[in-house]
């Protein structure tokens, strides 16, 4: 798995295409399906409790059906290290660190 402290240069939510697009400072380009971003929501309740929090999130989950809306209503940076989303059903407790997102990059080079 890619262990990185990379930071994004630009982060774009493309609602029409249903994609989260990140251009990283090292020029890597990542496109994530928003449904998958919802499916990998790293919050305690989506992970199934505190005991599950230590387990790594598998990249395959990016292509799983989300357990809730995958329509993004808003996105907000959390300090310098993460981003959080507000989904159309009101869920907003997932904090996605850049290192998590980078490790989940579904492109062929990261596979």
The residue among 106, 100, 98 whose CA lies nearest residue 82 is 98
Q: Which stretch binds Zn ion (CB under 5 A): 10-18, 54-62, 78-86, 99-107?
A: 99-107
Q: In the structure encoding, which two tokens stand for residue 79, read together?
A: 């300090």
Q: Is 41 exposed, middle or buried (0-12, 13-18, 19+ CB in 10 A)?
A: buried
**17 lies in the site for Zn ion, by CB under 5 A:** no
Residue with tokens 């507000």: 86
Identified binder of Zn ion from the candidate list 19, 39, 40, 105, rule CB under 5 A? 105
For the chain, what is the largest distance between any 2 Cα atoms, rounded to a whole number of angstroms? Answer: 36
> Minimum Å distance from CB 15 to Zn ion?
19
Q: Return the residues of window 24-53 that contact Zn ion according to CB under 5 A.
A: 41, 43, 46
Q: How many residues bind Zn ion (CB under 5 A)?
A: 7
**94 lies in the site for Zn ion, by CB under 5 A:** yes
């Amino acid at each position: 798995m890619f262990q990185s402290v990379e930071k994004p240069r630009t982060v774009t939510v493309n609602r029409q295409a249903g994609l989260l697009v990140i251009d990283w400072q090292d020029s890597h380009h990542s496109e994530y399906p928003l449904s998958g971003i919802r499916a990998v929501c790293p919050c305690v309740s989506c992970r199934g409790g505190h005991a599950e929090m230590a387990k790594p999130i598998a990249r395959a989950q990016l292509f799983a059906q989300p357990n809730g809306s995958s329509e993004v209503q808003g996105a907000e940076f959390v300090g310098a290290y993460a981003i959080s989303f507000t989904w159309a059903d009101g869920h907003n407790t997932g904090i996605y660190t850049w290192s998590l997102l980078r490790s989940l990059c579904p492109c062929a080079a990261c596979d």
